Structure 1
């Protein structure tokens, strides 16, 4: 199933790259994405979602196809059976993306990578210190934006980070 999914995504990207057209992504462009994660990655057994994953990314077009920027995301879980116990997850990082040229100036498919730091903290009883897993974080992602106007649209990304699937609002400046 996973191989079928990956091959389908790669096939779609190949089709998008075959058609060259107007640049829907431009050098000097600034994009801000604010999204909510639908498939969180930080839940273990005995935990439930307290605050859904939220993420903010900012990208700057260094060429008509390449962007670089920053990423910040946060999620929180509660440990079942303990009202005040839980974990907070924060990811801070730098990301870069390659934007494919397609025959639609409102549609912007891209693929990219994130390098950053994952900060995990435990909240709960002062007498108990929970395990933490802070450390280096990396992710690959596949995404697309669709703009309803010249400056406002939606985006979606698949990748491993604060959430496997993230959807949200895109603003272009």
Structure 2
């Protein structure tokens, strides 16, 4: 029972003392977290720089640590792969991105909802995310990314690793 009361107190304290999530021009946000997707899991890091009241640009990169090896016939081919492992270039992705930061639009200052577009080493895509700040410097984030146009050859065995829907969650920091 003490654990439940303590947890409720901490959650209540976090919501009562929540801080403004996006302040606009000059605001810098850093996200670090887990990247979850089909066929692998990894880490993701991003940084966003506020350029206006509701606009930011930034960078995001991810690296898949746990990736399923592949065995079988790929894409209807006649060559049988046996326990094939992806290379670094198959695991790593880097993107430049733009966001529309909507905390002032939706009227909830502690929650920054940000849809946006990105272009990177594997695809052109879109994303939607959210950040909630418990204090002036610390919060949590979650984000979903979707590829719109894929780059490269679909004949590459691991082409789909960074060309699929991704889900990320983790910690967010205000610099």
Does the pair score TM above 0.5?
yes
- 1:114 positional shift: 0.8
Q: TM-score, normalised by structure 2?
A: 0.63
Classify the secondary structure of the residue corresponding to 1:25: coil
In the alignment, what sits opposite 2:99? 97
In the alignment, does 2:105 pair up with 1:115?
no
8 Å contact from structure 1 (residues 96, 113) kept in 2:
yes
In the alignment, does 2:130 pair up with 1:144?
yes
Q: TM-score, normalised by structure 1?
A: 0.64
The 5-angstrom pairing of residues 16-165 of structure 1 reads 24-38=22-36, 40-41=37-38, 43=39, 49=40, 52-76=41-65, 77-79=67-69, 85-87=84-86, 88-100=90-102, 101=104, 102-118=106-122, 137-160=123-146, 162=162, 164-165=166-167
Query: 1-side partners of 2:25 and 2:119: how far apart?
Result: 22
Q: Which runs of 5+ in 1 are unaligned?
A: 1-21, 44-48, 119-136
Q: CA RMSD in A?
A: 2.1
Query: 1-side partners of 2:23 and 2:118: how far apart?
Result: 19
- Structure number with greater Rg is 2
8 Å contact from structure 2 (residues 28, 48) kept in 1:
yes
- 1:74 positional shift: 0.8
- 1:80 positional shift: 5.3
Aligned residues: 124
- 1:104 positional shift: 2.4
- 1:160 positional shift: 2.1
